[in-house]
Structure 1
Amino acid sequence: MALATRTARGGRPERPPPTPVRLWRSTIGKKTVMAVSGALMLLYLVFHMLGNLKVFFGPDDMNGYAHWLRTVGEPVLHHEWFLWLARVGLLAAVVAHGVAAYQLSRRDIAARPVGYRHRRARTSYATRTMRWGGVILALFVVWHLLDLTTGHVNPNGEAGRPYENVVATFSTWYGNAIYGVAMVAVGLHVRHGFFSAAQTLGAGSVGRDRALRLTADALALVLTLGFLAVPIGVTTGIVE
């Protein structure tokens, strides 16, 4: 008869792992981590889009907003502390989201090592491209930081002048192309991710699914158009 509990060396009962570890090891735990981290990133995207739209109000407004972000919390927080705390929190959410997504993907493959005989598409385009979309967004984040944060790949690259840097990057064809592809990926990722996160966190039901899908569609569309409005404004000369 098999023992009900595992034993460590020496015959002593092995202690079960802490609850957070057990939760992380479970599929539902990883899905919950993805949902919560995704919600945090979505909140960031909304505020980031609103901040980007300040470019339409001129350099003083946008550059002033960028300066204000560095002074949030003063004098309790030192200069730029809030910004760095936000960056660290966002990085933690991105890493947790990516690791959970990768491990869930590996579990899915392990559970179905033999491919399906019928390859007819059963899911939406956004669902089928979530993995590639995540890779595209990860690469874009690196480019975006080098472009508008450090300025290494920006034609202007002047610290403290985000308005001028934005105009410079979207005055190039490659800046518009990279940004456009990434924002389409953002929209598809948000469209599928919002609905999946709502399901994981218990907000989904037979009566609510339609409303959640409509909300996901609307949110994805608003974010995509809101972000794309900036390069379009520069290209058309509205922002200069």
Structure 2
Amino acid sequence: MANTTLTTDNKAIKTTVIIKQAMAITGAFFVGFVILHAYGNLKVFFGATVYNDYALHLRTFLMPILPYEGLLWILRGLLVVCALVHVISAIVLWRRARLARGSRYMVKKSLATAYAGRTVRWGGIILLLFLIFHLAHFTMKFAKVGDAAAYASHQVFLDPMGNVVDAAGPGIISVMEGNPYAMMYTTFSNWWMVLVYAIAVGALCLHIAHGVWSALQSMGWLRRNTQYTVQIISGLIGLLVFAMFLAPPVAILAGMPMLA
């Protein structure tokens, strides 16, 4: 009986470790994606041509090896898979923690740990809700904020390599492109949208600040003498991402002129 109990406990521990590692790996993918996304948004400071060309480049990347928007669909697929793994893993770990606590007579967590746990859970819910809105707004254009004309699309002709050409012809494809620069500008000309965005990005960055440290711990890459330093670095990464994401909306709201 004792051996059976030990075997069951060992399996549970191993499973928990694997689940934590899955969360760490998917979380690392999210952090990388978020940093690149924030970096891309900063191109709005260089004007409509630079920002819109960047958006088009993402759609035509590696053509003709990939089809038009191939990279974006690959990223979307990876994000969906990682999100499912991340969320399911979080739920499983949360349930196991509750069952392990039983009647909650066990040693109390520190206030910092308890606060971090609540922040990550509620931050995750806020992020999920904002992500749904973000996709409906910027990707599918169902939820329009500001001037509706900014969401209009125009016809663009591309050669097999993804370069823009003047007219249709053999091997030329026609696609409908929007104006991401105008969409961003009209959206963040509204103070309430900047506030919503700031709350969502704040939740994201708190998630990152806790997640980077937690992921390194889950992978067994932390030592006692480096934990505090890694926590500081994690917090700085969160602050950096927050600043990168908030810079364009705040600048637009503050009256940054539209550039060609």
Distance change in 2, residues 1:56/1:115 (3 Å):
same
Residue 113 (structure 1) shift: 3.0
Residue 152 of structure 2 corresponds to 158
Matched letter for residue 60 of structure 1: T
SS state at 2:111 partner? coil
Separation of aligned partners in 1, 2:143 and 2:79: 23
- In the TM superposition, residue 80 of structure 1 has moved relative to its aligned partner by 1.0
Which range moves more in the overlay, 153-162 or 48-57? 153-162
| In 1: Cα distance, 2:12 partner to 2:25 partner | 14
CA distance in 2, matches of 1:55, 1:124: 39
The aligned counterpart of 1:10 is none
Of 179-188 and 124-133, deviating more is 124-133
Is 2:139 the counterpart of 1:149? yes
8 Å CA contact retained: 2:191, 2:253:
no
Alignment partner of 1:74 is 2:63: yes
Matches within 5 A, 1:112-123: 112-115=101-104, 121-123=111-113
1:195-239 CA distance string (max 9 Å, x none): 000011121002221221121011000001111112101100125
Equivalent position of 1:190 in the other structure: 208
Task: Supply the distance in 2 between the matched residues of 1:101 and 1:110 (Cα, whole angstroms).
Answer: 14
Q: Please state how far the C-alpha of 1:116 moved relative to its aligned partner.
A: 5.3
1:37 alignment counterpart: 26
CA RMSD of aligned residues (A): 2.5
2:40 match: 51
Q: C-alpha separation between the residues in 2 aligned to 1:154 and 1:218?
A: 33
Q: Distance in 2 between matches of 1:119 and 1:87?
A: 37
Task: Pick the structure with more strand per residue.
Answer: 2
Residue 25 of structure 1 and its aligned partner are, at CA, apart by: 8.1
Structure 2 equivalent of residue 128 of structure 1: 118
Unaligned runs of 5+ in 2: 5-10, 154-177
Give distance in 2, aligned partners of 1:114 and 1:237. 56
Runs of 4+ in 1 over 4 A off after TM superposition: 1-4, 22-25, 116-120
Structure 1 unaligned regions, length at least 5: 5-21
2:42·2:248 contact (CA, 8 Å) conserved in 1?
A: yes
Shift of 1:56: 0.7
1:110 aligns with 2:128: no
> What is the CA-CA distance between 1:191 and the residue it aligns to?
0.6
**CA distance, structure 1, for counterparts of residue 22 and residue 124 of structure 2:** 16
In the alignment, structure 1 residue 232 sits paired with structure 2 residue 226 = no
Greater displacement, 157-166 / 220-229? 157-166
For residues 213 and 47 of structure 1, what CA distance do their matches in structure 2 show? 22
Cα distance in 1, alignment partners of residues 43 and 2 from structure 2:
67
Q: How many residues align?
A: 223
For residue 23 of structure 1, report the CA deviation from its aligned partner.
9.4
The AA in structure 1 aligned to 2:122 is W
User: Cα–Cα, structure 1 residues 75 and 191, in superposed 2: closer, same or farther, change >3 Å?
Assistant: same
Matched, 1:176 2:182: no
Query: What does the per-residue CA deviation read over 1:45-68, in whole Å, with 9 as the maximum and x for residues that have no partner?
Result: 010000011111111111000000
1:71/1:24 CA distance change after superposition, 3 Å: farther
